[in-house]
Structure 1
């Protein structure tokens, strides 16, 4: 029997909110300089949709822009995010390392994230999370771009028989339920009250996971 815990990254293990605004400002500054954006950076819009696939993010933030502009904006955004992470401007949530170490003693730990591979690697490397995490899976490895399909792949590849998905948004909850796993949500920065109602368990503090 393989017991596993599959974690979301942004807003679950990593406090993305600490670097999100600065990185997004950087991307929209470039758009403004090229006369492709007029007005404030839509930071609150991004907070509301946090957890959706990246193409949906940029379709939402820049609905009237071309695919090329969206892709370039995304590249600038991620370059800034990685720079901030490596400079330790972000942070893990309290007790994350302690909890992962404890749980890793009798569970296989994985990450399933909508984040890009290079972005996730920067967090793993900066905080040495490979001490605890068996493997990191990015949404980039799934053609459908759906978190449920990503978790399905993790379950299949690793012959997982029981466990849970720990995240903060509806996509994490559905990924758990559609794959026969327990849906645990953290009530952190990007969590939405209506979505939390669909989880099997809601945590206000990460250490409650123990």
Structure 2
């Protein structure tokens, strides 16, 4: 194995407090009805934009949803760049250790600018070789994992994530799946499981 590819939400950090604030402000500013809770957001973490719309915003017209999405993305990036999210315990220490032996990447089902906000506030960009998301490519998570592997000449990798969607993406990309059980989702099938982020050191060092 030469590389480790990470999901972001529920795997590297928890940004729920910031995201729910941004999404509710965006709903209000775009004139759309509704008020979201952290549990609402938790339930769609890891989904692509069209799947999130189906679950949370079926009542919005196409125009309302477009206006809302643009505002939510703008507010999310602004707030996350200013205050970041909650990193999981010992995250930077583990990334530093792993980066000495493996190449590290991020593939997340987020909009363009979200991973950049993670980098900007927490200063962790130096540990990662590349990243990708459907906001830039329009591809599924599995396809984005494959894209990152191809353009970085990755021969053998694992994907670390916390949802059933992450497992599906890893399977589609042909990589083993490490289930981050401390995250947002419940996954029945996996190749490895970690209860804390730092368990990766025992698993791969």
What's the TM-score once normalised by structure 2's chain length? 0.89
Deviation readout 1:45-69 (Å, 9 max, x if unpaired)? 3321211101221232110222221
2:188 is matched with which residue?
197
Q: Which of 87, 93, 99 in structure 1 is aligned with 2:88?
A: 93
Alpha-carbon distance between aligned partners in 1 of 2:72 and 2:4, rounded to the nearest angstrom: 29
Which portions of structure 1, spanning 4 or more consecutive aligned residues, are displaced by more than 3 angstroms? none
Structure 1 unaligned regions, length at least 5? none
Q: Structure 1-normalised TM-score? A: 0.87
Residue 198 of structure 2 aligns to a residue whose secondary structure is helix
RMSD of the alignment, in Å?
Answer: 1.8
Quote the residue 1:110 is aligned against: 105
Q: Find the counterpart in structure 1 of residue 177 from structure 2.
A: 183
Whole-Å separation in 1 of the counterparts to 2:60 and 2:112: 25
User: Pairwise mapping of residues 34-183 of structure 1 onto structure 2 (< 5 A)?
Assistant: 34=31, 36-37=32-33, 39-41=34-36, 43-143=38-138, 145-183=139-177
Structure 2 CA distance for partners of 1:177 and 1:84, relative to 1, 3 Å = same
* Alpha-carbon distance between aligned partners in 1 of 2:84 and 2:172, rounded to the nearest angstrom: 35
SS for the counterpart of 2:47 is coil
Tell me the alpha carbon deviations over residues 142-164 of structure 1, each in whole angstroms, 9 at most, x when there is no partner: 33x31111111112112212120
SS in 1 for 2:26: helix
- Asked if structure 2 preserves the Cα contact closer than 8 Å seen for 1:5 and 1:163, the reply is yes
Instruction: Write the distance in 2 (CA, Å) between the matches of 1:24 and 1:46.
Output: 9
